[in-house]
Amino acid sequence: MTHITTQGFLDEVLTTMISKGASDLYITVDCPIIYRVSDKLVNHSDRILNNDDIEQMIAQLLTKLQIESFDKDLEYNISIEWANKTRFRLNFFHQQRNRGIVIRSIKTIIPTISELGLPSIYADLALKKRGLILVSSPSGSGKSTSVAAMLNHRNINGSGHIITIEDPIEFVHSHINCIFTQREIGTDTLSYEIALKNCLRQKADVVFIGEIRDRETMEYAINFAETGHLCIATLHSNNTNQSMLRMLSFFPEESHRSVAVALSQNIEAIISQKIVPNLSHSRSLVTEVMLNVGLIKSLIADIKIDEIRDMMEKNEGMGSMTFDSSLYNMVKGGIISEEVAVSNAESPNQLKFRFVQNNQNSPLNKALNNSSNKNSF
């Protein structure tokens, strides 16, 4: 983690970011600095940035070695702790032969599972002794925050050595009942592969992999679960089925069957998340949870991925829940509108039909129907 104490324009920009409650800040050539506030874009000022402005910021934020790595890889990620202990995640990139920066604000206080409104199954999964738990969603859908809440729950209610390997570190954990070893790619270790190779030598009980991006990392994740560890990892995918397909895609097709069998024996759960607008003019988290119980295990082993969703619906009493069921329950709970639920559903027509059925079976509609039937005679 890099510490900065720079003054002037950069201080002004970050201070404004905090005061506005902005989630993200965009810095690019021929454009003013732009904040993302409640998912709307807001200009910092009318000042248009040029290439020299951005190069000066990069020189303030990165060390000489980090700049060399940025020049080589054309991308670079770090987390920083600013003057008042506020944390930010920075992504440096090249575009149209110029360089740019996206800064994301990171909450330093780790929320609890209940504060995030997550299902209680998250807490149960966090205390598992072994297995593979995958948390999937598109960027900006709360994966990192949910995982931090799960690790914090184990820190308070469990014990052991937890190793996190991240690019970059987002939440810093205190030692409560667990010992935390947090390693950042590019700062504490050269790569995921090198860090993961040494995890077993460091006697970990829990390993958190910031993101599975390739076959080697996927193999390590499976191996950790097979050798009696709990491995939590994130994937960039939209739902359970896509997560399964993505994991298989890391391997050649001829080995899909053996990989699927290994996954069926080691996956504890696949959690998927998305964020939707709610009736309070804010945003709410929607979750999908696939627990590897009952016939789901054999569906995974046989690569019958298209049948998993139906089985999840049948297993809802055991803790599994599809996105569409979560959306339905959120409408019933007065959290989101039917329109939002349908527009974010995996099977919009089926969810529409479910709402129609529910409305027809409501006490008010039954009374109206009975009255109508009586008047027809």
The candidate with the shortest Cα–Cα distance to 331, out of 296, 358, 307, is 358
* List of residues 6+ apart from 300 with CB closer than 8 A: 244, 260, 263, 264, 267, 292, 308
Chain position carrying tokens 């324009």: 9
The candidate with the shortest Cα–Cα distance to 169, out of 157, 146, 194, 187, is 187
Q: What's residue 246's pLDDT?
A: 98
pLDDT tens digits, one per residue of 360-369: 765 445 443 4
d(CA 317, CA 304): 22
pLDDT tens digits, one per residue of 295-306: 999 999 999 999
pLDDT tens digits, one per residue of 170-181: 899 999 999 999
Q: What's residue 190's pLDDT?
A: 87
Q: What's residue 359's pLDDT?
A: 82
Q: Within 10 Å of residue 213's Cβ, how many Cβ atoms?
A: 14
pLDDT tens digits, one per residue of 52-77: 999 999 999 999 999 999 999 999 98
Domains plus CATH for the chain?
2-106 (3.30.450.90), 121-352 (3.40.50.300)
Which residues of the chain fall below pLDDT 50? 2-6, 363-364, 366-369, 371-377
Q: What's residue 1's pLDDT?
A: 52
Q: What's residue 39's pLDDT?
A: 81
